[in-house]
């Protein structure tokens, strides 16, 4: 990944910064220019709580090259208390136990490593809520 592209996404990936539409209250993560619910262009920043509920999930067995060493691993779409929904890997647990409805906490982790000469890419992964 070219480093400017990675750098642009730091507020989202490192700090969980989202936007809340001041017109309809929709929380979008990452922040956007136009609200997908009401097309307003006015947002206030909101930092997401580092926890959520699993909406749906899977266990990846056939993984992309960068993730092959980690397979099998669980992935989930989670919803935070603010109503933001997004995709995360769920780790530090048996992958088969990540079911819809499960409570998870978000932790800052290394997400991927781009070969021998690429940059290390960070972000959030989920772990079972304790």
Positions that interact with other proteins (CB under 8 A): 9, 30, 36, 55-67, 70, 72-73, 75-77, 85-89, 96, 100, 111-112, 121, 123
Q: Which of 48, 8, 41 is nearest to 22 (CA)?
A: 41
* Rounded Cα distance, 26 and 36, in Å: 8
- Burial label, 90 (beta-carbon count in 10 A; 0-12, 13-18, 19+): buried
Cβ 70 to other proteins, closest distance in Å?
Answer: 7
Cβ 47 to other proteins, closest distance in Å?
Answer: 18
Closest to other proteins by CB, 32 vs 128, is 32
Cβ 94 to other proteins, closest distance in Å?
Answer: 12
Cβ 85 to other proteins, closest distance in Å?
Answer: 4
Closest to other proteins by CB, 4 vs 64, is 64
**In this structure, are residues 43 and 93 in contact, taking their beta carbons and an 8 Å threshold?**
no
Question: Pairing mode, if any, of strands 27-28 and 103-113?
Answer: unpaired
Collapsing DSSP states into helix, strand and coil, what is residue 22?
A: coil
């Amino acid at each position: 990944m070219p480093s400017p592209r990675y750098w642009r996404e730091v507020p989202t990936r490192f700090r969980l910064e989202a936007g809340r539409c001041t017109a309809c209250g929709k929380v979008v993560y990452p922040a956007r220019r136009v609200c997908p619910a009401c097309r307003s262009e006015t947002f206030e920043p909101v930092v997401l709580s580092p926890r959520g509920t699993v909406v749906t999930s899977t266990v990846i067995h056939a993984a992309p090259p960068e993730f092959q060493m980690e397979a099998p691993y669980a992935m989930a779409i989670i919803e935070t208390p603010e109503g933001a929904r997004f995709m995360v890997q769920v780790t530090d647990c048996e992958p088969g136990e990540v079911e819809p409805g499960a409570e998870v906490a978000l932790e800052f982790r290394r997400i991927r490593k781009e070969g021998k000469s690429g940059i290390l890419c960070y972000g959030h992964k989920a772990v079972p809520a304790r």
